[in-house]
Amino acid sequence: MNKELRPGAWPDGKEQTQLVVWAPLANKLTLHPEGSTETTALQPAEQGYWTLTTNRLQAGSRYKLSVDDGQPFPDPASRYQPEGVHGPSQVVQLEGFNWQDHNWQNLPLEDYIIYELHTGTFSEEGNFAGIAAKLPYLKSLGINAIEIMPVAQFPGGRNWGYDGVFPYAVQNTYGGPEGLQQLVQACHDAGIAVILDVVYNHMGPEGNYLGIYGPYFTEKYKTPWGNALNFDDAYCDGVRDYFVENALMWFRDFHIDALRLDAVHAIKDFSAVHLLQQIKQATDVLMAETGRTHFLIVELDLNDTRFINPQEKGGYGMDAQWVDEFHHALRITAGGETTGYYSDFNGIEHLAKAYRDAYVYDGQYSPHRNKKFGIPALDNPGKQFIVFSQNHDQVGNRMLGERTSTLHSVELQKLLAAAVLFSPYLPMLFMGEEWSEPNPFLYFVSHTDAELAEAVRKGRKAEFAAFHAQGEAPDPVDANTFQQSKLQWQLLEKTPHKTMLAYYQGLIQLRKTHPVLRSTVRKGLSVAGDKERNCLVLFRTNGQDALVCLMNFSQQAQSFKLPGEQAQYQKIFDSASPQWGGPKAAPENATTEVQVQPESILVYEAI
């Protein structure tokens, strides 16, 4: 888009600020500086934009805008909402931050070891500074990429982040824009990449003033959150540019390394050039200008490679996607319930398919959806798929927010972690799983609109009305629900948490250093599942080195035959070892057959 029409307030660092607002249906747009009764009219520009260059706004100034002499509201492209979603916008000099990461180079995507975290519950402080203080810990764990749940301004101070209503403004209670810039600088100093979760498929309800300024929404499509954002209806160009420029802002002004785009299957766009393609094209231009590398990662529930195929092959060009199906198959294999969307998965056979094909459903009939679903991901490398044994959704969308730590034995937790980290895909951990955090991760909000808060409370109860045997759904508005979801860092020095942490460190170190395990090349992989015994054999080779992962998901010890008649194998990992608090170590060397302890994994390397 025209750089002169980037939405928002842009101070020049001297005496003037340029204000740009998209309001194509307005007859008049007026600036209301805080602390003054004097107003100033913006001037109409091309394609529905309004502009004003004024000395009445400086960095730090607060202001609102009014459309057609109506009530003043915050700037739709506000960079900062220091008093929350209903307060005035504040001018911020984003370009004024003193970056010291000029030598930073983003890691290759295939090397990412991702750690998903929620800013408010990750640390006691509940802000960006709290994350920065824990970077030495994350570094010692072996993490090289953190994924931060959304930080766009939401109402109150307690929220998952998916109720954001100011996509350009960094949450005031987390530390605002400068706090995020400081965190990214600290991460880069530590050699850690930063992925930021952004939401381009809907807006939250409270403080959502976009519709006042123009046709940001369309009645053409419905989403689970109401009318869809307008990406292909009349006046959509301004909406598309608004979100494309938002993606560029995170890369350009905050040095974010990758974006994770929430639920892109809910982006309704039948344009000739999909919104994701437009974001990709703009990102490519930015990377050519700056020499920096940025990735675009999508949450996708369609098993459609069009999203992750390169644009020259007719795809949208996204670099990677979350794969929930790996999680679902892994969960059922571990004995999880088969209700809802889990009913589509049969356990070990589908887990084997997930290892082999990335997608479990790639054209088969889905009983849960009552239709055939997905296409094969034949030519997509493993680095395009992100897998996990738990994440914010899969934990927090349970009524009681239980983590794997309270659902499964310690031994099975260790097996699940290894199943993820030894896959040919990008592994992701959810904060606290590495020490078996027992606190739940619950759904919480802090809407200041009492009527809306009550509606959310009732909606949550209704959603789980059939689960009364488990008790009442926790009140998402209650501050205690948020407090219960905070990590307990004091557990790190206690057993079995200390042992689990050491185990994860060992897993991650092996993943990062072994030439076969660190590879995301899907060729050279074979897998066999034994449904009767609930066991799986994963064989991986890079042509020179070869190893076999023996996974026993059953509650009895099981004998496994090793591949090859005369092959010699040396043990390189054993989750059942007493070193990790396990019941019994396997032999260091094996030839034909080996016994694997219940709920454990053995990894042998061919020698």
Q: Which residue has the higher pLDDT, 500 or 224?
A: 500
pLDDT digits (tens, 9 = 90+) for 283-333: 999 999 999 999 999 999 999 999 999 999 999 999 999 999 999 999 999
Predicted confidence at residue 173, as pLDDT, reads 98
163 pLDDT exceeds 70? yes
The CA distance from 366 to 374, in Å, is 9
Residues sharing a CB contact under 8 Å with residue 289, sequence separation 6 or more, in sequence order: none
Residue 572: CATH number of its domain: 2.60.40.1180
Predicted confidence at residue 517, as pLDDT, reads 98
Give a yes or no: residue 122 inside a domain: no
Strands 43-44 and 546-552: unpaired
593 pLDDT exceeds 90? yes
**Contact present, 431 and 147 (Cβ < 8 Å):** no
pLDDT digits (tens, 9 = 90+) for 421-432: 999 999 999 999
Residue 262 annotated among the catalytic residues of the structure: yes
Q: Would you give the distance in Å from CA 516 to the centre of its chain? A: 26
DSSP assignments along 533-589, one per residue: TTEEEEEEE-SS-EEEEEEE-SSS-EEEEPSSSS--EEEEEETTSGGGT-S-PPPSE
Average pLDDT over every residue of 219-240: 94
Mean pLDDT value across the chain: 96
**Contact present, 549 and 559 (Cβ < 8 Å):** no
Give a yes or no: residue 416 inside a domain: no
Give a yes or no: residue 556 inside a domain: yes
Find the range with the poorest average confidence among 7-11, 86-90, 222-226.
222-226
Give a yes or no: residue 548 inside a domain: yes
Q: Which residue has the higher pLDDT, 227 or 244?
A: 244
Domain end marker among 96, 118, 151: 96
Give a yes or no: residue 484 inside a domain: no
The end-to-end CA distance of the chain, in Å, is 58
Bind-site residues: 260-265, 324-328, 392-397
Give a yes or no: residue 539 inside a domain: yes
Phi, psi at 264, each rounded to 5°:
-70, -15
Find the range with the poorest average confidence among 56-60, 379-383, 565-569.
565-569
Find the range with the poorest average confidence among 11-20, 425-434, 492-501.
11-20
Please tell me the chain's helix, strand, coil percentages from 3-state DSSP, rounded to the nearest 5.
30, 20, 45
Average pLDDT over every residue of 17-45: 97
Q: Which of 299, 304, 362, 475 is catalytic?
A: 299
Residue 77: CATH number of its domain: 2.60.40.10
The CA distance from 216 to 231, in Å, is 8
Q: Which of 163, 241, 262, 574 is catalytic?
A: 262
The token pair at 460 is 């949550």
Average pLDDT over every residue of 41-65: 97
Q: 10 Å Cβ neighbour count for 122?
A: 23
Predicted confidence at residue 1, as pLDDT, reads 63
Bind-site residues for substrate: 260-265, 324-328, 392-397
| Nearest C-alpha neighbor of 114 from the set 145, 149, 150, 138 | 145
469 pLDDT exceeds 70? no
Could you give the number of structural domains in the chain? 2
Residue 379 annotated among the catalytic residues of the structure: no
Give a yes or no: residue 109 inside a domain: no
468 pLDDT exceeds 60? no
233 pLDDT exceeds 90? yes
Residues in the chain: 607
565 pLDDT exceeds 80? no
Give a yes or no: residue 503 inside a domain: no
Predicted confidence at residue 467, as pLDDT, reads 60
Predicted confidence at residue 471, as pLDDT, reads 77
Q: Give the domain range for residue 32.
A: 3-96
Predicted confidence at residue 462, as pLDDT, reads 82
Domain end marker among 68, 96, 124: 96
Domain end marker among 35, 69, 96: 96
Predicted confidence at residue 466, as pLDDT, reads 62
